[in-house]
Amino acid sequence: MPMQIGLDELLGMLVSRVEDITLDTENQKSRFNIMFRMLYKKGMFTEKDALDAIRDENRILLELGMIKSMPDEAALKAAADNLMLWIRGDAKEIKRSIEELQKRIQEAQQKQSKPRIETAPAGVLNELDRIGANNPGKKIIL
């Protein structure tokens, strides 16, 4: 016998599951941060090791066809520097980096032009329909 549930119950279950996944992800991130900080402080790896690992990861992704091209050296270095900020736990620099990113996002949004949707008058649309009806093999692309 099929079981019926309401839409609100289904949405509640889905939201609960997403919250569980989010909490689990944050928990895993915290554990990895802690482990990598311990290893870094014990001298088990260096910033060069982080850069090499990021380079290797991108090479593998490229070979698997998951990325189209290898990032340039500056992008790889930026990724390694960002990773090392978290591992070193440099809160002031992380905060400055986040503020800089937010500023760049705001500037990009301001530069971006607002899309405009324009409609044609009914007479123009009727004319386009008439042209299309007279030439069934032709298509009008606007």
pLDDT digits (tens, 9 = 90+) for 125-138: 777 777 766 666 66
pTM: 0.59
Per residue in 30-51, pLDDT tens?
A: 999 999 999 999 999 999 999 9
Query: Rounded mean pLDDT of 108-130?
Result: 76
d(C-alpha 129, C-alpha 118), whole Å: 18
Query: Rounded mean pLDDT of 43-63?
Result: 95
- pLDDT, position 115: 67
User: Could you tell me the pLDDT band of residue 122, with boundaries at 50, 70 and 90?
Assistant: confident
Instruction: Report the phi/psi class of residue 111: left, alpha or beta, with left for phi > 0 and alpha for psi in -120 to 50.
Output: alpha
User: Could you tell me the pLDDT band of residue 3, with boundaries at 50, 70 and 90?
Assistant: confident
d(C-alpha 67, C-alpha 63), whole Å: 8
pLDDT higher than 70, residue 22? yes
- pLDDT, position 10: 87
Query: Rounded mean pLDDT of 18-32?
Result: 93
- pLDDT, position 18: 94
